[in-house]
Structure 1
Amino acid sequence: MSTRPGPQAVPQPELSDRALGWLRFAWDKATTPDDWSDQGEPHPWWDRYGSPPMCVFPRFDLSEMAYTLPMLMESTPAWREAYTRIADELIWRFVSFWGGIDWNTLIGPDPNVDRYSPEWLCCAPEPLRGAYPLPGWTGNGVEPWGLQPDPVGADGNLFYRAWLNLTLGIRRYVAGEATEHDTFQVTGYRNRQFPWTHDRVARHLSNQLATRPQGPHCENTKIWPTCVTAAGLGLQLYDSLRGTDLHAPFPAWAEYARTHYMGLKPDGDLDWFAFYYDPVEDKVATLHEPYNALIFLHVLLPQEPAWATQLYELCTRAIGFSDRRHPVVHLAKDPRMIVTALVLARELGDTTTEARLRDEVEEHFQPRFFGEHDDRFGYWFGLDEPWPRGQLNAILAMADAAPPGAWSRVFDQPQTDVHAEPTLRDVDFPRVAIRQARNDMTARTLDVVTAVSRPEPQATTAVTVDRLPAPSLATVELDDRPHTAWRVTGSDAIEVDLPVDHCRLRVWF
């Protein structure tokens, strides 16, 4: 029996086996040492193969892997140390030579501009095909900017600093540490080092948005709605955490984009959507069909929910994702369209489309557990590769990580109170995983559910609970029975012995 009357049982989200499997693999990738300097090369499980020619750089795997971290917090707001460690490992790679390798090595005009494969030429405005650098050629040094050694401070290269700022914001959120004024070094052209802080990156982005109504450039000289929207999302998170107003220029850009970067048919259907816009050539690149709008809506949704929902409904209706009368169509070899649409359907509560796309994912994208103990999880996409393809898995993990609406809540309603509440630390992860960890500040309890891949009946492990108001007055229960194997270890902390097994821990404080 419980030693104290318990609170009313309210179902709370907890991490599924798939979410824990993804988290364990993310931990493996993040914490396994590799060399991202100009003398080394990232481990091959970092995805620089997906969505050519645009996304063939490993930093996209870094930034997209970060998306799930604050979503996982919905189930474990009182346990965040693994998410912080992963975010730290992502960020040092992001600011390395390989993090900005395109800006640091793809200098000047593309020497292969007239040798692109026919299937890639659709990525260029039709009048310029064969004489125009495709997405993926960053072009540091071309006009109007000239050579700019700093990947963050440059006029172009938005797709680097936009996602760097967003990843820094995610780290700031999951850790709850005021690091926005701490200096870090960014590796630029010819290995020059440039000092930046999170605050300076955010203010630089905000200033660029304010002074460029069309949007800042990514590759010189392309303006991508996707990248501008990612810049806005990082600023929205920064404002939510710091009480600033750096996101203020974004709504004006969104209004400009609705007017200039999309068109509707007379019947209201989507006619076209800008892949990117080149203000020097004054050309808009569009794909044959406007469905490409889907691929950035997850970063637009928390900022402009009405516009994002409109585009989502137009795209899914046009593709037929939401139409039960027809099978789901795979539009291209790259599964990113279906992957992103599933994430959006779940986030928006579109259960019909979610169910249809989930069936496709289960049937065609090869979900499976893997690793020595079959406790890592990923989707293999029929690619016959030794590891799950990173970028696609990072986005798809968002659909397994948390309940509907969790992604938007990260930016609209961040759980900043948890940073001052009792917190679980020193967990021997991934040997012991945490399926749920949350405080009830009314009942004054911390409830924890553990999960292990291999129970070790004779083994024990120790965890710390800190930020307790009076550690010596705590009461501890294990699987609803009084538990005495704990001790006070600090002015606000206790250490608790637990079996290396599935168990439920409750700490009354």
Structure 2
Amino acid sequence: MAAATVTELNDRARGWLRFVYDKATTPDDWSSGGEPLGWWDRDSTAPMCSFPRFDIGEMSYTLPLMADVTPAWREVYTEITTALCERHTTFWAAIDWLTLIGPDPNVDRYPPEWLIFTPEKLRGKYEPPGWTGNGREPWGLAPDPVAADGNNFFRGWFNLLLSAHAYVSGDEQFREPFEITGFEDRRFTWTHQEIAGFISEQLTDRPEGAHCENTKIWPACVSAAGLGLKLHDAVYGSRLNGAYDGWVEFAQAHYMHVDRRGELDWFALYYDPLERLACTPPDHLAAYASLIVLPYVMPQRPEWGTELYEMTMRRLGWSDPKARLREYLPDPRFLAIARQTAHELGDDVTEGRLNEVVESTYEPRMFGDEESRFGYFFGWGEEYPRGQPNALLIMPELGGAGAWGRVFNEPNLAKFDEPTVEGIDYPSLGLSVARNDHEAGELRVGTYAATPSHAGRATTWRVVGLPDPTAVSVTCDGREFTGWRVVGDDAIEVALEIGTHDVRVQTGYRPGRPA
């Protein structure tokens, strides 16, 4: 059974952290005159997700989970989410909305594997998912990728990312005005709270949901937008997520059907309000349509999410220990979502069955310089692991059962008022443990060499937010440690070599006492 809590980043989590840090902090050019580096995922789940911003969006799920494992060390997650948010304001983040204008002139030339995502009677005359069609009537051209009738997937996941940044950092950087690149490189000014408010108001006005590509309303995208509102509410105390309630009622009545036996008959991959038609994949693929909403529904409406999960697993046969586990599309995203949801719900039987597939066929391994990064390569022979399915696959490593839901429903905001570690020389030194033991009045810190060849080098770091730094005592690896000094009214500096160490700081901090 999955542990209720995870208190240490394991080897895979550390390797994933190093890889996303590399991607986020290595400069590249996402402007209209540049191109993202090749490790950004532009290939997964084509045609609808084969744009690099989806790599940014999926990556963001892992950072609040890691911050909940090491709540007393957050600066690295802040650095990463800041860089991701900045990329999400660029041309390449909205490249589909800014370049796929009007009807697609190649509408009758799509590869056969894309047609499964198109209603059968419309094939050959209907754009597939991914073609945004900015400028199509009746909506017209929307130069601002946020203030549009459509493009819900752009602003919805951006709001979720901005909320994740606020959750790990505690700062209000993006509540100040910033610019977003629009059509023909025009600039539009927004703040986080304005984007969240726009999403909530639009969802209130349109209980059927806002569309992403012009003509397509996706339950997964509406639910991701709702989840971003929920995290915004959790961090800032706003009340924006209530608009999602009306959509859930509409979706249950119009975007799915349960037969007389209580089993899932169909679930809409998306709904076209102009054609007045839902895209409902055939046979077992109908369950894939309900599967992709689960990471976003579960934290918001856990009863409905659990019901969808159980019906979906039965439809696919994945929860039956006597049945052969079969994947119906050659895309790891779907099994990754099922595995994460099984983990979240503590469904050990199903998670175990899915784990067997992941461990035996998804090629999990360390890679990169000094074998210090981790990812799943899927036997595809690619240089880098694809970010989108990898983010979903790493999530069970980052928390126990219920951890994903706790980010949104039991957010740890007290961490901002507690003793905190700062000044870690990452990626030379990393922390696998950083948490306050409230009963003992103790800060526990576990260090490791994030770059193995740097082990043994001298380094310093600080503990800030101490009630009385002169009253602190420190042990390292079970012994009294004197390599520290007071450096401020609430701070000490620790001098130590890079490597694996168990540091305990008797801080005297207990909840209820001001730091």
Q: Is the 8 A contact 1:13 1:403 kept in 2?
A: no
Tell me the residue number matched to 1:158.
152
**Matches of 2:48 and 2:60, distance apart in 1:** 19
**Matches of 2:330 and 2:316, distance apart in 1:** 15
* Matched ranges for 1:80-479 at <5 A: 80-289=74-283, 290-292=286-288, 293-453=290-450, 454=452, 458-479=456-477
**Matches of 1:205 and 1:304, distance apart in 2:** 18
**Matches of 2:301 and 2:171, distance apart in 1:** 28
Letter in structure 2 aligned against 1:474: V
Tell me the residue number matched to 1:6.
none
Deviation at 1:129, TM superposition (A): 1.3
Q: 1:457 to 1:211 in 2, by over 3 A?
A: closer
1:498 aligns with 2:496: yes
1:72 is aligned, of 63, 66, 71, to 66
Deviations for 1:3-31, whole angstroms, at most 9, x for unmatched residues? xxxxxxx9962111001111111111111
**Matches of 2:69 and 2:333, distance apart in 1:** 26
**Matches of 1:356 and 1:181, distance apart in 2:** 44
C-alpha RMSD of matched pairs (Å): 1.3
Letter in structure 2 aligned against 1:250: Y
**Matches of 2:453 and 2:43, distance apart in 1:** 37
**Matches of 1:179 and 1:204, distance apart in 2:** 19
Letter in structure 2 aligned against 1:505: V
**Matches of 1:154 and 1:305, distance apart in 2:** 30
Q: Is the 8 A contact 1:15 1:402 kept in 2?
A: no
**Matches of 2:481 and 2:212, distance apart in 1:** 57
**Matches of 2:176 and 2:213, distance apart in 1:** 28
Q: Is the 8 A contact 1:455 1:502 kept in 2?
A: no
Q: Is the 8 A contact 2:151 2:211 kept in 1?
A: yes
TM-score by length of 1: 0.96
Letter in structure 2 aligned against 1:387: Y
Deviation at 1:89, TM superposition (A): 0.9
**Matches of 1:486 and 1:456, distance apart in 2:** 21
Q: Is the 8 A contact 1:66 1:170 kept in 2?
A: yes
Deviation at 1:432, TM superposition (A): 1.3
Deviations for 1:130-181, whole angstroms, at most 9, x for unmatched residues? 1111101001100121001000111110000000000000000000113452
**Matches of 2:312 and 2:474, distance apart in 1:** 52
Structure 1 window deviating more from structure 2 (131-140 vs 446-455): it is 446-455
Q: 1:141 to 1:483 in 2, by over 3 A?
A: same
SS in 2 for 1:477: strand
Q: Is the 8 A contact 2:5 2:403 kept in 1?
A: no
SS in 2 for 1:140: coil
Deviation at 1:81, TM superposition (A): 0.7
Q: Is the 8 A contact 1:456 1:499 kept in 2?
A: no
Letter in structure 1 aligned against 2:344: E
SS in 1 for 2:431: strand
**Matches of 1:270 and 1:457, distance apart in 2:** 54
Structure 1 window deviating more from structure 2 (464-473 vs 16-25): it is 464-473
**Matches of 1:323 and 1:367, distance apart in 2:** 25
Q: Is the 8 A contact 1:455 1:501 kept in 2?
A: no
Letter in structure 1 aligned against 2:398: A
Deviations for 1:428-485, whole angstroms, at most 9, x for unmatched residues? 1122111110012332211101122527564221111111121222111111211111
Letter in structure 2 aligned against 1:192: R
**Matches of 2:305 and 2:5, distance apart in 1:** 30
How many residue pairs match? The answer is: 500
Tell me the residue number matched to 1:5.
none
**Matches of 2:324 and 2:198, distance apart in 1:** 46
1:507 is aligned, of 505, 508, 515, to 505
Q: 1:408 to 1:382 in 2, by over 3 A?
A: same
Q: Which runs of 5+ in 2 are unaligned?
A: 508-515
Letter in structure 1 aligned against 2:18: R
Q: Is the 8 A contact 2:5 2:401 kept in 1?
A: no
Letter in structure 1 aligned against 2:495: D
Deviations for 1:57-108, whole angstroms, at most 9, x for unmatched residues? 0000001001000111222010011111110111111110000001111111
Deviation at 1:392, TM superposition (A): 0.8
Q: 1:159 to 1:457 in 2, by over 3 A?
A: closer
**Matches of 1:80 and 1:42, distance apart in 2:** 26
Q: Is the 8 A contact 1:165 1:202 kept in 2?
A: yes
SS in 2 for 1:328: coil
Deviations for 1:229-266, whole angstroms, at most 9, x for unmatched residues? 01100001111111111111111110110110001122
Deviation at 1:114, TM superposition (A): 1.2
Deviation at 1:185, TM superposition (A): 0.7
TM-score by length of 2: 0.95
Letter in structure 2 aligned against 1:370: F
Q: Which runs of 5+ in 1 are unaligned?
A: 1-9
**Matches of 1:341 and 1:465, distance apart in 2:** 40
Letter in structure 2 aligned against 1:213: P
Percent identity of equivalent pairs? 50
Deviation at 1:121, TM superposition (A): 1.6
Deviation at 1:421, TM superposition (A): 0.7
SS in 1 for 2:121: helix
